[in-house]
């Protein structure tokens, strides 16, 4: 049961239940009946709860015989019987209870000629009605209002109403709940199907199709499902064409580039040093083109098909190895490399040596942009959740404009201050790092240091100990 399913279900159920309860309460409160003119007199100021109870009991008793009436009285809640008395021709209550003084005074006044009457004594009001049952027995029905000690007069009608109506309300609410359950499931099922399919696409599975699950439906959600399938078909086709294009570009670009580099080497040997300057420029351009092609082909595609984190890597050992590899280069610029961590090891799942390239790119950028005679610090710590490690590489360079912090992970993006190839590269290193980290279910981000410089943070899930 998803959150959407529960929202639809409980919204429909609560609204329907509220309508059922409110309708019954209003009908009871205003005493709504099919013949409102015949009951118009009931809305005068003397229509006390005891009088209203009398009308209801007379209407219920008139179609019963004595035995049925006694059974009905005994089945009523014990708290309600003190508000009424039903007296036979012998002046005895059918439940064999002693009669209050006020009831005894009203009994003689109720006759077939004057069947209705009332008796008021202090704060107590007694209403009575003379009638004949369907078996010919004559009875007198009397209802008693509350005394000074009993303040529940206004509640008796409500209490009887709730006592009688709650089984019907319960059944009605359960029936409407069952109907809302299936209705909510019908509405939510299509949305849940699309949500799961969207998650599969986000994980790289473009072969997912939802139309078969909407077979036979003609509503808007089914139409959305067909449009969804059309979209995924085009995406899958575009992805296949992209992969084919990358493969073709790899062949078409690398083959002539390799021949160019061979010819360039032969030209340098035969030039006798006369055009070395020009040939060096050509070689630099060819090497640059080769690096661009290699990095483009190294960009991971967001496709998890066949991708599996089948290896484990120690981040601390990796960072220490990279620091050793780049220590000489750092010392030439007067840069101090430092690793700050309390962890003996930090194991993360990986695929091949992709994470090596990620941190190599980040460290190389930090060494390139940090100012001479400043430190580059690598921090390794474990997140509070204990299932994630964070690597932070901080330099002391010029930093990046705040509005560009998220853009530096886009392919071929360079800040305005770093557009030339000699200093800014061609903007693929961090893009490769970002996609590689994403395929490891991690996250990469950057922020500027208050004292100057840029920090690149990489979050990676810890390896499962099992």
Which of 23-32, 183-192, 264-273 comes out lowest in average pLDDT?
23-32
Report yes or no: 293 and 333 within 8 Å, Cβ to Cβ.
no
pLDDT number for residue 4: 59
For domain 311-461, say whether CATH 3.40.50.2000 is its number: no
pLDDT number for residue 54: 75
pLDDT number for residue 415: 61
Report yes or no: 123 and 148 within 8 Å, Cβ to Cβ.
yes
Q: Alpha-carbon Rg of the chain, whole angstroms?
A: 44
Q: Which of 72-81, 155-164, 253-262 is most confident?
A: 253-262
45 vs 281, residue with greater confidence: 281
**Model confidence over 99-114: pLDDT tens digits?**
887 888 888 888 888 8
Whether residue 19 has pLDDT greater than 70: yes
Question: Within 10 Å of residue 164's Cβ, how many Cβ atoms?
Answer: 12
Tell me what the pLDDT averaged over the chain comes to: 78
Report yes or no: 21 and 169 within 8 Å, Cβ to Cβ.
yes
CA 313 distance to own-chain centroid: 35
pLDDT number for residue 427: 61
Report yes or no: 313 and 338 within 8 Å, Cβ to Cβ.
no
pLDDT band at 377 (very low <50, low <70, confident <90, very high): very high
pLDDT number for residue 152: 46
* Assigned token pair, 434: 């970002």
Query: Hunting for tokens 């992709």 — which residue is that?
Result: 354
Q: Collect all residues with Cβ–Cβ distance below 8 Å to 465 and sequence separation of at least 6.
A: none
Whether residue 419 has pLDDT greater than 50: no
Residues 279-283 have a mean pLDDT of 80
Using CA of residue 58, residue 165, residue 145, residue 103, what is the dihedral sign?
positive
Question: Rounded CA gap, 362 and 339, in Å?
Answer: 14
Question: Rounded CA gap, 418 and 422, in Å?
Answer: 9
Question: Rounded CA gap, 415 and 156, in Å?
Answer: 81
Whether residue 343 has pLDDT greater than 80: yes
Whether residue 196 has pLDDT greater than 50: yes
pLDDT band at 32 (very low <50, low <70, confident <90, very high): low
Whether residue 318 has pLDDT greater than 50: yes
Residue in 166, 165, 118 with CA at minimum distance from that of residue 143: 118
For residue 82, give the DSSP letter.
G
Report yes or no: 390 and 383 within 8 Å, Cβ to Cβ.
yes
pLDDT number for residue 217: 76
| pTM recorded for the entire structure | 0.46
| All structural domains of the chain with their residue ranges | 240-298, 311-461
Residue in 318, 317, 353 with CA at minimum distance from that of residue 440: 353
pLDDT number for residue 428: 67
Residues 38-67 have a mean pLDDT of 66
Phi-psi region of 204 (alpha: psi -120 to 50; beta: other; left: phi over 0): left
369 vs 37, residue with greater confidence: 369
pLDDT number for residue 432: 79
Whether residue 391 has pLDDT greater than 90: yes
Q: Collect all residues with Cβ–Cβ distance below 8 Å to 139 and sequence separation of at least 6.
A: 61, 66, 69, 86, 87, 88, 89, 94, 130, 131, 132, 133
Query: Hunting for tokens 């009457």 — which residue is that?
Result: 117
Residues 303-326 have a mean pLDDT of 80
DSSP 87-122: E-TTS-BTT-PPPPHHHHHHGGG--SSS-EEEEEET
pLDDT number for residue 40: 46
**Model confidence over 82-101: pLDDT tens digits?**
778 888 888 888 888 888 87
DSSP 140-176: EEEEE---TT---HHHHHHHHHHHHHHHHHHHHHHHH
**Model confidence over 211-253: pLDDT tens digits?**
888 887 777 778 888 888 889 889 888 888 877 777 777 667 7
Whether residue 407 has pLDDT greater than 90: no
381 vs 428, residue with greater confidence: 381
pLDDT number for residue 381: 92
Half-sphere exposure at residue 440, Cβ-oriented, CA atoms within 13 angstroms: 32
**Model confidence over 138-151: pLDDT tens digits?**
999 888 875 444 44
Whether residue 446 has pLDDT greater than 80: yes
Question: Rounded CA gap, 226 and 206, in Å?
Answer: 15
Is residue 461 classed as helix, strand or coil in its secondary structure? strand
């Amino acid at each position: 049961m998803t959150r959407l399913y529960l929202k639809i279900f409980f919204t429909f159920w609560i609204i329907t239940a509220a309508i059922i309860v409110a309708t019954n309460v209003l009908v009871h409160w205003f005493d709504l009946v099919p013949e409102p003119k015949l009951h118009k007199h009931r809305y005068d100021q003397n229509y006390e709860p005891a009088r209203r109870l009398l009308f209801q009991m007379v209407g219920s008793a008139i179609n019963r015989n004595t035995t049925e009436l006694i059974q009905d009285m005994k089945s009523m809640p014990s708290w309600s019987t003190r508000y009424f008395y039903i007296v036979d021709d012998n002046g005895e209550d059918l439940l064999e209870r002693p009669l209050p003084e006020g009831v005894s005074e009203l009994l003689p006044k109720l006759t077939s000629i004057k069947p209705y009457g009332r008796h008021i004594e202090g704060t107590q009001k007694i209403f009575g009605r003379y009638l004949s049952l369907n078996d010919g027995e004559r009875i007198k029905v009397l209802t008693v209002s509350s005394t000074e000690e009993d303040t529940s007069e206004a509640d008796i009608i409500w209490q009887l109403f709730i006592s009688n109506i709650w089984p019907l309300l319960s059944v009605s609410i359960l029936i409407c709940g069952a109907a809302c359950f299936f209705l909510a499931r019908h509405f939510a099922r299509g949305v849940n199907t699309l949500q799961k399919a969207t998650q599969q696409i986000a994980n790289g599975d473009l072969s997912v199709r939802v139309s078969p699950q909407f077979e036979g439906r003609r509503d808007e959600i089914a139409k959305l499902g067909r449009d969804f399938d059309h979209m995924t078909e085009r995406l899958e086709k575009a992805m296949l064409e992209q992969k084919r294009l990358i493969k073709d570009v790899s062949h078409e670009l690398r083959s002539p580039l390799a021949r160019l580099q061979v010819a360039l080497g032969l030209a340098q040997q035969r030039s006798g040093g006369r055009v070395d300057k020009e040939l060096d420029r050509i070689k630099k351009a060819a090497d640059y083109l080769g690096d661009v092609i290699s990095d483009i082909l190294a960009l991971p595609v967001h496709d998890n098909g066949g991708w599996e984190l089948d290896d484990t890597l120690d981040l601390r050992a990796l960072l220490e190895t990279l620091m050793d590899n780049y220590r000489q280069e750092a010392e030439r610029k007067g840069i101090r490399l430092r690793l700050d961590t309390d962890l003996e090891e930090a194991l993360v799942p990986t695929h091949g040596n992709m994470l090596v390239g990620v941190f190599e790119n980040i460290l190389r950028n930090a060494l390139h942009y940090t100012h001479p005679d400043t430190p580059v610090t690598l921090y390794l710590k474990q997140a509070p959740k204990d299932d994630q490690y964070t690597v932070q590489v901080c330099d002391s360079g010029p930093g990046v404009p705040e509005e560009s912090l998220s853009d530096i992970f886009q392919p071929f993006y360079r800040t305005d201050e770093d557009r030339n190839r000699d200093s800014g590269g061609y903007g693929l290193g961090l893009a490769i790092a970002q996609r590689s980290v994403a395929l490891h279910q991690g996250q990469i981000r950057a922020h500027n240091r208050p004292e100057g410089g840029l920090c690149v943070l990489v979050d990676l899930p810890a390896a499962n100990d099992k």
